[in-house]
């Protein structure tokens, strides 16, 4: 276990150094920044912190228009202590809470990567966590095509790990999804 932690700590350190270098040379790096998009460069994928977010934090931003529309059973989601589906500005979000930032990174990243991006796994036997599966996919079809002609893709193009929380964000492209994440995360900042 100690060797695994040392390896992970080195991996995280290399990740953050790579992100810093990527920002300095304005090239694509592991942190999801790119010189092509202001939105992507303004937000990091992994934001370390000791703050422990809870459902109460989401409840606290309801006056800004955030609605919790579904609670997921996390019994089969490794390390997770809670998960919710949210709607904000007519867009879907999913938020997952873990006991710590380390748990979110170590236990949540694989599951987050699997349902985001252009290669998201949102249908079939390869879906890692089936709870809420239908909420994580969207139907794309040509005009005039019947519903059975759906081509399913991932609803959430990006995610951000902040403290003990993983936030999944909808958007038509990666930069827009990161911008939507940023908009919601701003509401959670102390006034």
SS3 percent helix, strand, coil of the chain, rounded to 5, is 40, 25, 40
Instruction: Determine the straight-line distance between the first and last CA of the chain, rounded to whole angstroms.
Output: 40
According to the model, what pLDDT value does residue 65 have?
A: 96
Q: Do 17 and 57 fall into the same domain?
A: no
- Tally the domains of the chain: 2
- Asked if the model's pLDDT at residue 133 lies above 60, the reply is yes
Q: What confidence score (pLDDT) does residue 29 get? A: 34
d(CA 163, CA 100): 7
The tokens describing 36, both together, are 């092509």
pLDDT in tens, 20-79: 333 333 333 334 433 333 344 456 899 999 999 999 999 999 999 999 999 999 999 999
d(CA 66, CA 86): 7
Same domain, yes or no: 41 and 132:
yes
Q: What is the pLDDT of residue 150?
A: 77
Average pLDDT over residues 133-150: 77
Domain residues for the domain of 62 are 36-187
Give the lowest-confidence range in 20-24, 140-144, 175-179, 185-189: 20-24
Q: Percent of the chain at pLDDT above 70?
A: 72
2 and 82 both lie in a single domain:
no
Q: Say what the pTM is.
A: 0.75
Residues 50 and 99 in one domain: yes
Whether 79 and 18 map to the same domain: the answer is no
Taking residues 72-96, report their average pLDDT: 97
Q: Based on the domain organization, do 100 and 151 belong to the same domain?
A: yes
């Amino acid at each position: 276990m100690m060797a695994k932690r040392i390896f992970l700590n080195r991996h995280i350190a290399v990740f953050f150094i790579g992100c810093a270098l990527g920002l300095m040379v304005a090239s694509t790096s592991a942190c999801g920044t790119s010189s092509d998009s202001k939105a992507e460069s303004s937000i990091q994928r992994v934001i370390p912190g000791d703050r422990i977010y809870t459902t109460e934090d989401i409840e606290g931003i309801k006056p800004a228009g955030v609605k919790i529309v579904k609670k997921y059973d996390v019994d089969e989601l490794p390390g997770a202590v809670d998960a919710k589906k949210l709607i904000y500005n007519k867009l879907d979000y999913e938020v997952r809470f873990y006991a710590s930032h380390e748990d979110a990174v170590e236990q949540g990243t694989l599951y987050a990567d699997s349902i985001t991006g252009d290669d998201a796994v949102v249908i079939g036997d390869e879906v890692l966590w089936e709870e809420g599966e239908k909420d994580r996919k969207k139907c794309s079809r040509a005009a005039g095509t019947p519903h059975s002609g759906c081509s399913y893709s991932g609803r959430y193009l990006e995610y951000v790990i902040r403290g003990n929380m993983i936030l999944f964000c909808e958007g038509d492209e990666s930069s827009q999804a990161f911008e939507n994440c940023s908009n919601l995360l701003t509401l959670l900042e102390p006034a």
